[in-house]
Amino acid sequence: TTTGLILFFQSGRPLGAGVRLGMGLRMNRTKGDEEEYWNSSKFKAFTFDDEDDELSQLKESKRAVNSLRDFVDDDDDDDLERVSWSGEPVGSISWSIKETAGNSSSSHEGREQLKSRNSFSSYAQLPKPTSTYSLSSFFRGRTRPGSFQSLSDALSDTPAKSYAPELGRPKGEYRDYSNDWSPSDTVRRLRKGKVCSLERFRSLQDKLQLLEEAVSMHDGNVITAVLIFLKRTLSKEILFRELEVRQVALRHLIHFLKEIGDQKLLLDLFRFLDRTEELALSHYREHLNIQDPDKRKEFLKTCIGLPFSAEDSAHIQDHYTLLERQIIIEANDRHLESAGQTEIFRKHPRKASILNMPLVTTLFYSCFYHYTEAEGTFSSPVNLKKTFKIPDKQYVLTALAARAKLRAWNDVDALFTTKNWLGYTKKRAPIGFHRVVEILHKNNAPVQILQEYVNLVEDVDTKLNLATKFKCHDVVIDTCRDLKDRQQLLAYRSKVDKGSAEEEKIDALLSSSQIRWKN
């Protein structure tokens, strides 16, 4: 009928028998009934949006394929068979041949099929999409029985001929493992961090050329790598002789040997170069590896006669003397502590050994536990000061910290009290009284002690700042009175407690008519 022909040409699809019969039965219907019927039918006429709908469905299909990679690690799909677009099992040899051969012609065939296609009747007629990734890249091989093979496993079973290209490293990188590199190329590759064997450089000339290329590259890592190779393949005599005229490489080798702690080779090198002072210092550094105090003391005794400079020789002698005294003090104090008869050790047990401690730590220890001992004993602080020529500032600072920690305020006062030739006493602090106040406050000294030493600070501004900071109210009030600074005194009145003695003192000064304030 006319209606059926129109629908046939508009939709581009052949009409089924049922549809044609239905149309024949409805020919006698009115025009309104026909429109109502066709509008309510599941069939619809052709529109240009159909192509967009099917393309969107193709995109959904592609996303569904891509989502397969999220499920390849599941153990529940081991019994599923993976097939390609053509139905071949993935990983088989025939699939590999078709996969390789199909890459070149898939594009052309796809275009021809698109030209000859006259409908979107099924998705099976669509050409296979051209991509650099095949469906096989979404799967991994399984090693358990009953599972499919990976592509590499399938190819490994064909010893005669490889049917598919290797999916590994690009062919251009196979030259990384070649041995045909010149010294300059080798150094450049080492600088880039690539794997490169140095074993092919066998002659001395090639090895030295390799070292010179590394030095000219100004890369310390490359120079060190070449030096490690030379150290392993050359004798010490030849290596030292060649490095003697190559100072840059020599410095790198010395630094490398110090870092790895190869003292034996380092001593041999210094001995060959006739660097006596560096040889002595390198030998002295070995005492760090000796843990036993008595053995370390004997080793330091052998270092005293080495060719050090005058200043270094004095330090070596002091080190030996200090360790010798530490051994004596440690043995004596361990005995006193275990006996429990000394009050200082009962109240303040030792937390660590004095052995191998620095000189300042030893002085603090002596000021803490042996402050009142006579000068003739090894553990006396005064004896340590004279023996090792400790400066007055260092001695006062260390003694103050030790005695303030014990809250021995009389010893602190005696530390700063001096007498002149007429017998008059005066307080003097080589480190400055402002530092004395800070150390005393750090050790929770009473306010009366703090005020006494804050008053000894000569600079007025520093005195006011310290007194305000540590709440020495009397010092602040007296200083403001001496400065006749009424405004500053009024401002400080708000910082003291209400109804306190300090507030009453401030009010008395402010109401006094005998003070002529400057503001």
Render pLDDT for 295-325 as a digit per residue (tens, 0 to 9): 999 999 999 888 888 888 999 999 999 999 9
Contact 300, 283 (CB under 8 A): no
CA gap 22, 43 in Å, rounded:
13
Q: H helices then E strands: how many in the chain?
A: 26, 2
pLDDT for residue 137 = 41
What average pLDDT does this structure show over 175-183? 63
Task: Report which listed range, 119-123, 218-222, 439-443, is most confident.
Answer: 439-443
What average pLDDT does this structure show over 404-413? 94
Unique residue bearing structure tokens 């260390």: 398
476 or 425: whose pLDDT is higher?
476
CA gap 68, 133 in Å, rounded:
14
In terms of Cβ atoms closer than 10 Å to its own Cβ (0-12, 13-18, 19+), residue 311 is exposed
pLDDT by residue (tens digit) across 10-27? 444 444 444 443 444 444
Structure token digits, residue 67: 């989502």
pLDDT by residue (tens digit) across 338-347? 988 889 999 9
Contact 153, 141 (CB under 8 A): yes
Other C-beta atoms closer than 10 Å to the C-beta of 207 total 21
Angle of helix 501-510 versus helix 473-483 axis, rounded to 10: 10
What average pLDDT does this structure show over 420-434? 87
Structure token digits, residue 335: 């005995």
What average pLDDT does this structure show over 410-433? 88
pLDDT for residue 172 = 47
- Strand, helix or coil for residue 201: coil
Within 13 A of 230's CA, how many CA atoms are on the CB side? 28
Is residue 241's pLDDT more than 80? yes
The mean-pLDDT minimum among 21-25, 84-88, 444-448, 494-498 falls in 21-25
pLDDT for residue 360 = 95
Sign for the CA dihedral angle at 463, 466, 470, 476 comes to positive
The mean-pLDDT minimum among 33-47, 242-256, 274-288, 431-445 falls in 33-47
Cβ contacts of 395-400, under 8 Å, gap ≥ 24: 395/363, 396/429, 396/430, 396/431, 397/431, 397/435, 397/439, 398/360, 398/363, 398/364, 398/367, 399/363, 399/367, 399/371, 400/431, 400/436, 400/439
CA gap 333, 346 in Å, rounded:
12
pLDDT band (50, 70, 90) for residue 165: very low
Is residue 382's pLDDT more than 70? yes
What one-letter code names the amino acid at 1? T
Other C-beta atoms closer than 10 Å to the C-beta of 45 total 10
Overall pTM surpassing 0.75 (yes/no): no
Is residue 171's pLDDT more than 80? no
Contact 289, 317 (CB under 8 A): no
Q: Where are the domains of the chain?
A: 183-274, 407-468, 472-518
pLDDT for residue 301 = 92
pLDDT for residue 45 = 53
